[in-house]
């Protein structure tokens, strides 16, 4: 069983559309994250949730809205997609929030906005 699974793996869409990426972890972890990896491979945190509560909300356009229905799921909805949103989006989880936590990553969603 995949520990952190996200769908879809590939997402190709037109500018202006709204799309969602789903993430689920079966590790029993309390904390989940969304990261964006750009074309130069830089990883930047977007959001972090601990037990369904938002704890990190980096400077991300409010077109991006995370939703955590329970601590095992963290979905990302993106409104009015723009060309610059093209990137690979990774979901990750950690046992809890704090020092010395290691992250477990999903396999990524490659978003291409045309």
Partner 1 sequence: SQQGEEDPQALSIQEGENATMNCSYKTSINNLQWYRQNSGRGLVHLILIRSNEREKHSGRLRVTLDTSKKSSSLLITASRAADTASYFCATDGMDSNYQLIWGAGTKLIIKP
Tell me: does residue 41 bind partner 1 (CB under 8 A): yes
Tell me: does residue 60 bind partner 1 (CB under 8 A): no
Cβ-based nearer residue to partner 1, 46 or 78: 46
Neighbours of 42 (CB within 10 A): 10
Q: Which of 22, 23, 28 is nearest to 92 (CA)?
A: 23
Which residue among 4, 21, 23, 74 contacts partner 1 (CB under 8 A)? 4
Query: With contact defined as beta carbons under 8 Å apart, do 76 and 8 qualify?
Result: no
Tell me: does residue 107 bind partner 1 (CB under 8 A): yes
Which residue among 12, 15, 43, 54 contacts partner 1 (CB under 8 A)? 43
Tell me: does residue 97 bind partner 1 (CB under 8 A): yes
Query: With contact defined as beta carbons under 8 Å apart, do 21 and 8 qualify?
Result: yes
Which residue among 52, 72, 86, 104 contacts partner 1 (CB under 8 A)? 104
Neighbours of 110 (CB within 10 A): 15
Return d(Cα 21, Cα 34) in angstroms, integer: 10
Q: Which residues would be at the binding site for partner 1 (CB under 8 A)?
A: 4, 40-45, 48, 56, 90, 92, 97-108
């Amino acid at each position: 069983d995949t520990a952190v699974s996200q769908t879809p793996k590939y997402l190709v869409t037109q500018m202006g559309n709204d799309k969602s990426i789903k993430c689920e972890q079966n590790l029993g972890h309390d904390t989940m994250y969304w990261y964006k990896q750009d074309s130069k491979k830089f990883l930047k945190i977007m959001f972090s949730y601990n037990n369904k509560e938002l704890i990190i909300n980096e400077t991300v356009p409010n077109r991006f809205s995370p939703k955590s229905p329970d601590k095992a799921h963290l979905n990302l909805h993106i409104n009015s997609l723009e060309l610059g949103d093209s990137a690979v989006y990774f979901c990750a989880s950690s046992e809890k929030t704090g020092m010395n936590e290691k992250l477990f990553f999903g396999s990524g969603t490659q978003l291409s906005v045309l």
